[in-house]
Structure 1
Amino acid sequence: MAKKLLTICGDFVEDYELMVPFQALQAMGYEVDAVCPDKKKGDVVATSIHDFEGQQTYSEKRGHNFTLNADFDSVKADDYAGLVVPGGRAPEYLRLNEKVLQLVRDFDAAGKPIAAICHGPQILAAAGVLAGHKVSAYPACSPEVKLAQGEYADIPMDGAITDGNLVTAPAWPAHPAWIRQFVDLLES
C-alpha cells in the first residue's frame, strides 16, 4: 500500500510549489491528498506564479486552477506519513486558521516529516514548531523564522535543508533537493 501524504494549500498558493511536488510524489508511488480549509473535494484553489525577473522581489502572475482531491474537515495526521506545505500567498492567511495550525502540530508531535517551501514556513512558525530548528524559507520570511525561535538558514535558492523532521527550502528552484530530502526522510 502506498504511503499517504497530505498537502495543505489555499487560494494563491504558488503554482509550481503545489503542482510539482503533488505530481512528482505521485509519480514516485505516494498517494497525495490536497486540501484547503472551507473547501471540499472537487473544489478548486487559484494558484499564482512567482518568478525572479530582476526586480527587488519576485513578480506574481495568475496561475492555474488546482482541483482539490480531499476534504480538509476529514483529515487527521494519524492517516498520513508526511505533510507538504507549499508557499505563495496562501500561507499568510492559512496561518490564521487554528485547525491548520493544530494539524501541523499533530504532524510535528508525531515526528512525521514536514516539507515546507518558500512562504510555507510562515505556517510552521505560527504553529510553534520551528524552535531549535535550522530552517530555510523565502528570505522575506526570515524574520518570522527567527521570531519563532528557529535559526534561519540562508542557503542558495536551489538548496534545501533537513533538520529533524523538517525539510525546508527558499523557493521552487529548490524542488530537486527539497523533494529528494523529503523522500529520504519518508523512507528512513
Structure 2
Amino acid sequence: MGKRILFLVGPEFEDIELYYPLYRLQEEGYETIVAGPSRDTLPGKRGYSVKPDLAFEEVDPGEYAGLVLPGGRGPERIRNNEHVKRIVRGFFEDERPVAAICHGPQVLISAGVLHGRRATSYPGIKDDVINAGAVWLDQPVVVDGNLVTARIPPDMPMWMREYIRLLRA
C-alpha cells in the first residue's frame, strides 16, 4: 500500500480536478495511479486527456493508501461500473482516505457509502447527495472521517491540504 494513490477517471473528467491533485500528491512523494474503464486514452472536458495506467477491473484497492475522485462528466459515466463500486467500497471498509470533488460524490452515491456522512459537492448534485442519506454542507471542504469532499476548482487548495493531512495521519 505505502504511498500509492489511486485516481478513478471517466470520459470528460474535469481536467484541472484530475491534474491539480495528481501533481500535488506527486510533490508530496506519492505515486499516483490512474484507472479508467480501459487503458485507452480518455478525453477531459477542456482539451486535456489522460492515458490510464490500469483498467478498473485490474485494480486491487488494497494496494493503495488513498483514493481520489475528480469531477466533471466522468463520475456520471463510471458510477454504475461494478468494479468502480467494488474499489470504492474497499476504501471505505478499511477507512482509508478518499477525496472527492464536484461531481465525484456521484460515484460514492452509487457505491452506497454516503449514508450518514457529512459531505459537499457541486451544488447541482446537492439533492442527490442528500437523497443518498448524507448531510450536504455548502462550504469549500468537508472532512468526515476518511472522506474529504470539495465543491469546485477554487476549493482545491483546501481540499488537498485536508486530504494530505489525512494521508499523513
> TM-score interval w.r.t. the shorter chain?
over 0.9
What is aligned with 2:13?
13
Shift of 1:2: 5.6
What is aligned with 2:42?
45
Q: Which runs of 5+ in 2 are unaligned?
A: none
Letter in 1 for 2:33: D
2:109 to 114, 125, 132: 125
Shift of 1:121: 0.3
Letter in 2 for 1:8: L
Query: In the aligned structure 2, how far is the partner of 1:70 from the partner of 1:26?
Result: 18
Shift of 1:93: 1.7
Shift of 1:74: 1.9
Shift of 1:14: 0.2
Query: In the aligned structure 1, how far is the partner of 2:21 from the partner of 2:148?
Result: 13
1:151 to 135, 139, 142: 135
Kindly report the root-mean-square deviation, in angstroms, between the aligned alpha carbons of the 2 structures: 1.3
Shift of 1:44: 1.3
What is aligned with 2:154?
173
Q: Which runs of 5+ in 1 are unaligned?
A: 49-61
**Contact 2:76/2:107 (<8 A) preserved:** yes
Give the secondary structure class of the aligned counterpart of 1:168. strand
Query: In the aligned structure 1, how far is the partner of 2:109 from the partner of 2:58?
Result: 24
Give the secondary structure class of the aligned counterpart of 1:63. coil
The alignment of Structure 1 onto Structure 2 pairs a total of residues equal to: 169
Question: 1:135-176 deviations in whole A, cap 9, x for unaligned?
Answer: 000001111111110000111xxx211001100000111111
Letter in 2 for 1:179: M
Q: Does 1:100 align with 2:84?
A: yes
Q: Give % identity.
A: 42
What is aligned with 1:81?
65
Q: TM-score, normalised by structure 2?
A: 0.96
Shift of 1:90: 0.9
**Contact 2:11/2:77 (<8 A) preserved:** no
What is aligned with 2:166?
185
Letter in 1 for 2:30: Y
Q: TM-score, normalised by structure 1?
A: 0.86
Shift of 1:98: 1.4
**Contact 2:3/2:30 (<8 A) preserved:** yes
In terms of fraction of residues, the more helix-rich structure is 2
Give the secondary structure class of the aligned counterpart of 1:11. coil
Give the secondary structure class of the aligned counterpart of 2:44. strand
